[in-house]
Structure 1
Amino acid sequence: MRAKILLTAMALAGGAVIAVAQTNHTGHGDGMDHSAHGKDRPATAGVLSEPGQGAFAALSEVVQVLESDPETDWANVDLSGLRAHLVDMDRLVSDAIVSETDLPDGISAIATGDAATIATLRRMVPAHTAQLARDDRWTVQATQTDDGVELRVTSDDPSVAARIRGLGFFGLMASQDHHRAHHLLMARGRDAHGH
């Protein structure tokens, strides 16, 4: 009995030590001091690497670029607008309900969701369609529906049509890597493509 009590006491004490160690931030090793993050990284000269889904990381990276640029016009900076766009990006990826239909030459994707998601889709899909249309290997069309948006992407080239079907709605929305430049333009207060 005495051995059971001793083992129970040791287990409880060990658990308390682990709990304290997990919540005590003073024991952080090298690289774990939150106040030191980023101090050893060189400022990026207008080049972003965060495409957007990590909203806080994207905002932080944009702030670094703006602060390192002596030409930043702080009167026009619009980080709230960029934040709203990043929220839209998250909502599109996380909350959109998409039904894809394979076509012989591509796909038709019907996207819908709750009222906030539908509003996001109506802002983002047509704007991104303009970016997708810059690729002349496919034809892109976005049509507003009663409860969302239809994205139709097709190509006469069977290998491109296969690529379209492989990308699907979300891959197409993430393609044409313009996001970093677009985010920086938005942060600088320029309406990069209206969403």
Structure 2
Amino acid sequence: MSPPSAVPTMPGQDAFGTIQEIVRILEADPGTDWSQVDIEALRQHLVDMNELTLNAKAVATPLDGGATYAVTGDGRTLEAIRRMVPAHAHEINGVNGWTAKTEPTTNGVVLTVTAAAPKETARIRGLGFIGVMAQGSHHQAHHLAMARGEFSH
């Protein structure tokens, strides 16, 4: 039996925990305009994140200065790819000296990420598709803005 002072801290599921954290932030902010709050939009975005992370297929092809990633999927995964990959490419374009762009395909998106610096080229290739998608510290602020009804893909 656990001592009485042991209290679990994990919410049991990452998307649930993210939503719980955002709700706590909104509740602590006296300026929250509850008429604009859209937690369902955040939930749908987190579903997209899961689809992209767990179900999308990404085939990397090295090229001078970086790589292309042919990202494909079906159904809900394809929808998530089409919403998230171009938006993220726009967000990271210029970060770390990278050039990031996308081209739509019939079953997904081709993401091309390049850099002039050889060290960054190695980094792009080492990160692979999902590592590139995880770049940047904008995700948390983006989730809060989405929940406040201020942003969507």
TM-score, normalised relative to structure 1: 0.72
Structure 1 segment 3-152 matched on structure 2, within 5 A:
29-31=3-5, 54-135=14-95, 137-152=97-112
Partner secondary structure for residue 102 of structure 1: strand
Of residues 125, 130, 133, the one that matches 1:173 is 133
5+ long unaligned stretches in structure 1: 1-26, 39-52
Structure number, greater radius of gyration: 1
Distance (whole Å) between structure 1 residues aligned to residue 5 and residue 69 of structure 2: 45
Distance (whole Å) between structure 2 residues aligned to residue 180 and residue 148 of structure 1: 25
**1:141-181 superposed Cα distances (whole Å, 9 cap, x missing partner):** 11110110000001121111111111111001000110110
Q: For the structure 1 residues 174 and 136, does the alpha-carbon distance in structure 2 shift closer, same or farther, using more than 3 Å as the test?
A: closer
The count of residues paired between Structure 1 and Structure 2 equals 151
Partner secondary structure for residue 80 of structure 1: helix
Query: Which amino acid is 2:98 matched to?
Result: W
Partner secondary structure for residue 167 of structure 1: helix
- 134-143 vs 64-73, which moves further: 134-143
**1:15-44 superposed Cα distances (whole Å, 9 cap, x missing partner):** xxxxxxxxxxxx65325567xx69xxxxxx
Higher strand share: 2
How far is the alpha carbon of 1:58 from its aligned partner?
0.3
Query: Which amino acid is 2:92 matched to?
Result: L
Runs of 4+, deviation exceeding 4 Å:
31-34
Contact 2:96 2:120 in 1 (8 A): no
Q: RMSD of the TM alignment (CA)?
A: 1.9
Query: Which amino acid is 1:102 matched to?
Result: P
Q: For the structure 1 residues 33 and 140, does the alpha-carbon distance in structure 2 shift closer, same or farther, using more than 3 Å as the test?
A: closer
Query: Which amino acid is 1:29 matched to?
Result: P
Determine what percentage of the aligned residue pairs are the same residue.
Answer: 45
Query: Which amino acid is 2:67 matched to?
Result: I
Match in the other structure for 1:4: none
Match in the other structure for 2:142: 182
Q: For the structure 1 residues 105 and 175, does the alpha-carbon distance in structure 2 shift closer, same or farther, using more than 3 Å as the test?
A: same
Distance (whole Å) between structure 2 residues aligned to residue 31 and residue 84 of structure 1: 36
Distance (whole Å) between structure 2 residues aligned to residue 30 and residue 74 of structure 1: 37
Distance (whole Å) between structure 1 residues aligned to residue 17 and residue 144 of structure 2: 13
